[in-house]
Amino acid sequence: MLEQYDTRNITNLIILYTDNLGQMCFNAAKICQLQHFPHPVNIEHGWYNPIDFFTVDTLSGPQVYEMIGVGEYRLQRATKALVLQIIVPGGNDHYIGFNSAKGANAQNVEASDMVTIVEWHTTDVNRYVGYYLKGYRAQDESFLLGNGITVTAQCINTAVTPSIACVCGEERSQICPSDCACPAPIYQQLEITAINQAGACQETADETC
């Protein structure tokens, strides 16, 4: 287990000191920093769609997000969260991701197909330092942050493409809704329906199909 491990010099959540040793690429805090505060020379801005980064605000109640598996991000067709940011006033912000072991992340070793929690130990957005893996959670497991917010992996579905996780952020007196069941994406449901209808037509020889 790598809780409290400093990930500032590694590519992923495991001890990997190079970019070319496998298909493993995900650090939620680092990805968020590179997206919003890219180096003016060395980092190309806009690897991801900015609308797929969300800030969790539990002041108005518990917040539930559908998250796409990072390794399948290129399959994104509808807005699903890639990274969730939890701002901690006066403390260290936390970043949540769904570490699916598919696609670009297929050779991942640590926390595969789990929801990960990374802490960023800096207030200087221009410094690529201080990323700490705080933990990772499987389906139905929760993680309590220091600011009183609980992050729960309500469901994880890797049987669909792209993989989906439902993640809830709640404060102490709040209760996460139970209606997030990680269904197949809408476009995949339509494809399945079309296939089933075609099969039914063939079985019944219905000329109206």
- CA pair distance 6, 60, nearest whole angstrom: 33
Q: Are 99 and 118 in contact (CB under 8 A)?
A: no
Phi-psi region of 168 (alpha: psi -120 to 50; beta: other; left: phi over 0): beta
pLDDT for 193 beyond 60 = no
pLDDT for 129 beyond 70 = no
* More reliable by pLDDT, 123 or 64: 64
Per-residue b/e over 22-52, b at no fewer than 16 CB within 10 Å?
A: bebbbbbbbbbbbbeeeeeeeeeeeebeeeb
Question: What letter represents residue 76's amino acid?
Answer: Q
Residue 188: predicted pLDDT: 52
Give the total residue count for the chain.
Answer: 209
pTM: 0.74
pLDDT for 19 beyond 70 = no
**pLDDT per residue as tens digits for the range 144-173:** 997 889 999 999 999 999 999 999 999 988
Residue 186: predicted pLDDT: 55
- CA pair distance 34, 3, nearest whole angstrom: 23
**pLDDT per residue as tens digits for the range 41-89:** 655 555 788 889 999 988 889 999 999 998 898 899 888 999 999 988 7
**pLDDT per residue as tens digits for the range 79-121:** 899 999 998 877 888 999 999 999 888 888 889 999 999 988 7
